[in-house]
Amino acid sequence: MPYTESKKILAEFLSAVPAYMQGPDRIQFILENIEKLNPDSRLLLSTIVNKMLTSMIEREASDIEIGGHGNGSFVWMRVFGKKERIKEFPQFSADEAAVVIINLLNSNQRKYLSVTKNLDFSYTYFYERKKFDVRFRADTYFDLDTLTLNMRAINSSLRPLEGYGFHPNVLRTLSHTYIKYGLTLVTGITGSGKSTTLDAVIDAHNKIDPAHIVIIASPIEYVHKSNVCIIKHREVGRDVLSFKDGVIQSLRQDPDIIVIGEMRDPDTIMASLEVTDTGHKVFSTLHTSSAVESIDRIVAEIHPNEQERVRNRLADVLVAIISQKLVPSLDGKRILAKEVLIVTPSVKAAIKNNNTSEIYMMINQGSPQGMITMEQDLKRLYLERKISMENAIAYANNKTRIQQLLAAV
């Protein structure tokens, strides 16, 4: 790898940064002057990043971390759930890493980062060995006045929805051909595979359903090619100003299915409920670890004066919640564990009456409808010898319940 040459380029460029500039001022100088690097030098720096991304793919790593005070000059990766230093990669000083990161951005992205101190963006490069483009979801931000970058690999191929182990009734509920309207949530912490599940749902429709799908995301991850469906991708910050604007504008775009990357604020939540109310099928995500927590979170995000109205509206439009986790498996990789809620009349009444604490038991007893609690699914994975007992307990939402289930084995 031409690391030595890249170090020379970085040293020459950084020699122009005034010594009196410190912290954010140094980053600002780089943002404003990166275009003074000649095109060949910029290409070489991009090539260095692409080489590291190639290594990341071949290690089956999910994330890479470049730059920032916390990195201690090392490049880090998350390999099968564990963060580790990659010691064979070059070490970058904070300034060198900032140049490498900023070199990946276009002029509009650099302006946005300068103002907001954070930027979500997508990045694509050509994977030479396999001869295809690979996409990454990226986030650059500040860490003690130094610039740092996280990039997450986006699968270039999708796992069929049939391979997720959902009950046939759940697959029918997710299908636009079976239910034409309603809100379905896919929830979980960051890195739990929510976007991958949503992409699998979209791909399943794209094979059989002559519908119009509008995807609003920040950033767009997997890019679908229209097949039986026509699929539009709208990236927040590039194609549309905000999630709320994208949702409202979608009503004038003749969609059948609207995919909202994240219900991250009250405005987006309200807009999502409104477009679902108009008879569209809507899919979205939340950063919550259980179905009950997801319902409570949506209501809690809204002003208290509006909560009863939102609770009733949510009960009317919600059709399903899938909460998922990626659990370390016995083969050293990770495996999906999931909780599934199907909104039955009893669940609807519990939401309207603010008795969400009753819903867990409804899920527990709802296996004929395809429902399953996280604890029941973890028990299944343990009995199938795919995860350890320790991890079954560690990843359970309800520790008492998982211990009761495992004690009965």
Residue 108 structure tokens: 């509009």
Q: pLDDT tens, 12-29?
A: 999 999 999 998 999 999
* Distance separating alpha carbons of residues 76 and 149, to the nearest angstrom: 11
Q: What are 39-81's pLDDT values in tens digits?
A: 999 999 999 999 999 999 999 999 999 999 999 999 999 998 8
pLDDT tens sequence across 320-355: 999 999 999 999 889 999 999 999 999 999 999 999
- pLDDT (0 to 100) of residue 122: 87
> What would the pLDDT profile of 143-195 be if each residue is shown by its tens digit?
999 999 999 988 777 889 999 999 999 999 999 999 999 999 999 998 898 99
Mean pLDDT of the chain: 93
The ranges of the chain annotated as CATH 3.40.50.300 are 161-372
Query: Distance (Å, rounded) from C-alpha 363 to C-alpha 365?
Result: 5
CA-CA distance, 139 to 147, in Å (whole number)? 11
Write the CB contacts of 393 (distance below 8 Å, at least 6 apart in sequence).
Answer: 399, 402, 403, 406
pLDDT of residue 1 exceeding 60, the answer is no
Average pLDDT over residues 289-305: 95
Q: Which of 2-11, 283-292, 356-365, 372-381 has the lowest mean pLDDT?
A: 2-11
Q: Which fold has domain 161-372?
A: Rossmann fold (3.40.50)
As a whole number of Å, the CA-based R_g of the chain is: 23
Mapping DSSP onto H, E and C, the string for 79-93 reads ECCEEEECCCCCCCC
Residue 219 binned pLDDT confidence (cut-offs 50, 70, 90): confident
* pLDDT classification of 87: cutoffs 50, 70, 90: very high
Q: Which residue in the block uniquely carries the two structure tokens 């990357």?
A: 261
Kind plus residue range of the DSSP H or E element containing 157: none
Tell how far CA 403 is from the center of its chain: 30
Distances (CA, A) of 49 to 5, 53, 99, 151, 202: 14, 6, 12, 11, 31
Q: In this structure, are residues 202 and 158 in contact, taking their beta carbons and an 8 Å threshold?
A: no
**255, 254, 208, 214: which is closest to 227 by C-alpha?**
208
| pLDDT of 359 higher than 90 | yes
**pLDDT tier for residue 382 given thresholds of 50, 70 and 90:** very high
Pairing relation of β-strands 61-67 and 146-153?
A: antiparallel
What does residue 223 show for φ and ψ, rounded to 5 degrees?
-100, 115
From 405, 386, 399, select the one nearest 327 (Cα to Cα): 386
Q: Quote the Cα angle for 143-83-334, to 5°.
A: 135
Asked if residues 322 and 184 have their Cβ atoms less than 8 Å apart, the reply is yes
Q: What are the start and end residues of each CATH 3.30.450.90 domain in the chain?
A: 3-153
Q: Where are the beta strands (DSSP E) in 197-296?
A: 212-217, 230-235, 257-260, 281-286
Task: Tell me the sheet residues that pair with 326.
Answer: 336
Q: Coil, strand, or helix at residue 119? A: strand
- Give the pairing type, strands 182-187 and 281-286: parallel
Q: For the residues of 366-402, what is the DSSP string, one character each?
A: -GGGT-B-HHHHHHHHHHTTSS-HHHHHHT-S-HHHH
For residue 96, what pLDDT is reported? 96
Distance CA 209, CA 114 (A): 43
Environment class of 7 (CB within 10 Å of its CB; exposed 0-12, middle 13-18, buried 19+) = middle
User: Among candidates 3, 10, 2, which has minimal Cα distance to 93?
Assistant: 10
* Distance separating alpha carbons of residues 348 and 266, to the nearest angstrom: 21
Class of domain 3-153: alpha beta
pLDDT over 70 for what percent of the chain? Answer: 100
